[in-house]
Structure 1
Amino acid sequence: MKQKIRIWLRNFFGFSRTETNGFIILLLLMALILSMPFISKSIYSYYKKPVQSKAHRLNLNSLLSELKDNIETHNEKSEEREYNYFDLNKSTSAELVNSGFPQYLAKRIVKYRNKVNPFESKDELLKIYGIDSAFYQEIYPYIKITILNIQPDPQPVKKETSTTNKIKEEKYPEKEAKKFELSAFDLNKADSTQLQKIYGIGPAYSKRILKYRNYLGGFHSLNQLNEVYGLKKENLDSLKNYVFLANELNLRKLKVNKLNADSLVQHPYISYKEANLIVNYRNQHGNYSSMDDILAIKILDSIWVKKTAPYLSFD
């Protein structure tokens, strides 16, 4: 049959064998193109039509009804829930539960208060994971806060009784004061135990400070504490009250005339961009002799150079 069609086409149109084959292929392509709208419409209609059995519809209706009941039950419980007054800084976990908190939230509040710091405002309650704004608005009127000042007890009033009593009462407050006394110490020589004696600095913060100090090669300015991840303003203020930097800094320095780019980027202040600029300039102009040579690299930012300078050595 195919051969007869080929012969007829060749005789009717005067095609060669190759032209006949091309003509047949062209006809098939045209037929396919013309039928595409009908084929795509059928496929679209098939997939668009939802296939749902009666059992499926009944199951769906049941789920929707159950969901509606759960929502109504939750709303009823929320309306019926009663709260009692509580103190964020004094209430125990059990007392918080009695005040209307779920047990897991009560434990988190006590843990936050003991491990991080006492509450100073009601809004700090939103920092507790699991307490959303809606729940916070419900309990807001019942919140009380006793501000806890961690300070040494005031000296007792001296009683004018006998000479012996005077001596005892005068010595007692001196002993008590020593318990809270903390001498300033060198930040570049401090260990985690010393840092944790500062109010607001726990194991996590002390570990970060020491890790960053080692990463830098030592601090040359107290303002570098601002670069330690997670430290808040109150933590920084506490630190700066008790730490200092010695006049003679013993910083770990980078030998810019010997190190390659991969070694230079180990310092937190130096990116690959700056490291490559320093190495390439050295290769073109020879070794550096002072910071003036580094400043000659015009692309480098002067603020960056000033910050990095204490860690560079030109030996």
Structure 2
Amino acid sequence: MWKDFLYFTKTERTGFYVLIALIFVVFLIFWTIPLIFPSAQVNEQMSETAYREFLASVHQKDKNWNYNDYYINKKQEIILAPFDPNTADSITFVRLGIRPYIARNILHYRAKGGKFRTPESFAKVYGLSPDQFKLLKPYITIGDNFLKKADSLRQFAARAGQDTLKYYKYPEGTVISLDDADTTELKKIPGVGIGTAKRIIAYRQQLGGFYKVSQLQEISHLSAELNRWFIIKKEPIHRINLNKYNVERLTSHPYINFYQAKVIVEHRNKKGALKSLRELSLYEEFTSKDLERLAPYICF
């Protein structure tokens, strides 16, 4: 009975022996290859080492990426100043805190003939968030060449009934108060249009008032030739309390940047209220020039 299950024909036995011989030869080849070709084993080890080094470099890049991105963002200084979105260059936009790709969108829009007629039209720039526009809006100035033109005879007729002295210009030798002049009075100065007048008023409000005429040169595209038309009457200057306001409110002042505002707030949190500007002179973020021009605008 058992022979029926375990009995093999001569052909089957021959095939079985050949199969065992082939298996033995294969094992023998794999066992002798490292001895005959040692370089293959070395190359395999080198490949393994290179693979591990590659993985380590990838992990290191992933680890360093967030740090570098944070470092770049932290060191980028945001300088809020009046600007015309129709003429400002990419560097100006980046200094205002606008990301490079958004600046490229603006330049591309202008290259195709696009114009910003009102500050609100700048809010439509692709990529610009509502919060960022809200921060930049007080600094947007539209040049006279880009202001929205009247588009109907009715509007023209309404303007015709206004003051006939609209285009009157002051003669040479006239001086006006830079502290309280409004746009109507500023436009009477030769060379000053509605756009320039609005920029002067906006910068005066951001500062809290002028304490010297030469501060006009801090406004872009205003030359010193304009200074002879103004005097300072020493009107009260609006001061900001360094011990009261947060970072966002402090950076709204043209003389305080983001990093200086952070120093002020961190000093208050760690060492208590500020009592004098001398305490800020200990920080590298404040130069003597920064403190000198800031002095008339702060209180404790």
- Tell me the TM-score range normalised by the shorter chain: 0.3 to 0.5
Largest Rg, 1 or 2: 1
Structure of higher RCO (CA pairs closer than 8 Å, 6+ residues apart): 2
Alignment TM-score, normalising by the size of structure 1? 0.41
